[in-house]
């Protein structure tokens, strides 16, 4: 087959010009981004946030902390509770969780109980009505039955403020 005369008359671009055209923005459609379905993307986002939060929360973000909390809850109202609570306090300090703080109201050291009362009083406004009433009840019991005068006094003062 013989070449057409039209092809020979037309000026052909050099490879440099072809590459330059190819590199120009808008010359070819952008590749489509591969997106996850909304539910899956939300799950990935939540997992990433949880990992970032754990990273910045130090010891309290680790799985060992959760294990220690469960051990503390399991030991509550047993003879092992004072030892488990002391170990927890030495390792992690006073917890921030409402339920764990509530456990420490039964601890034997008055200084810790006073700290717990103040920590729970600071959180009481953001807790549910049932949790607030439970806290008030616990404070009333401490105010009436605690062997330590400081604990009784702090419980009475916080009760008046609530």
Question: 86 in a domain, yes or no?
Answer: yes
* 139 contacts 154 by C-beta, under 8 angstroms: no
Q: CA 84, CA 64: separation in Å to the nearest integer? A: 14
Question: 40 in a domain, yes or no?
Answer: no
10 or 94, which is more confident?
A: 94
Question: 90 in a domain, yes or no?
Answer: yes
Query: In which band, very low, low, confident or very high, does the pLDDT at 3 lie, cut at 50, 70 and 90?
Result: low
Whether 29 shows a pLDDT value over 80: the answer reads no
- For residues 123-133, average pLDDT: 87
Question: 115 in a domain, yes or no?
Answer: yes
Question: 66 in a domain, yes or no?
Answer: yes
Question: 11 in a domain, yes or no?
Answer: no
Number of domains in the chain: 1
Question: 100 in a domain, yes or no?
Answer: yes
Of residues 130, 55, 74, the one with CA closest to residue 98: 130
pTM of the model: 0.58
Question: 30 in a domain, yes or no?
Answer: no
What average pLDDT does the chain have?
81
CB neighbour list of residue 86: distance below 8 Å, 6 or more residues apart: none
Residue 155: domain span: 62-161
């Amino acid at each position: 087959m013989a070449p057409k005369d039209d092809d020979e008359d037309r000026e052909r671009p050099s490879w440099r010009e072809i590459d330059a055209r190819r590199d120009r923005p808008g010359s070819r459609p952008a590749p489509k981004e591969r997106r996850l379905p909304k539910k899956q993307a939300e799950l990935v986002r939540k997992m990433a946030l949880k990992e970032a939060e754990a990273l910045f929360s130090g010891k309290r973000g680790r799985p060992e902390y959760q294990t220690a909390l469960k051990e503390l809850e399991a030991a509550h109202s047993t003879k092992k509770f004072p030892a488990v609570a002391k170990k927890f306090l030495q390792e992690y300090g006073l917890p921030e969780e409402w339920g764990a703080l509530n456990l420490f109201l039964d601890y034997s050291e008055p200084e810790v109980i006073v700290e717990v009362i103040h920590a729970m009083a600071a959180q009481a406004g953001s807790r549910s009505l049932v949790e607030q009433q439970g806290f008030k009840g616990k404070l009333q019991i401490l105010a009436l039955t605690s062997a330590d005068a400081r604990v009784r006094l702090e419980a009475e003062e916080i009760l008046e403020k609530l």
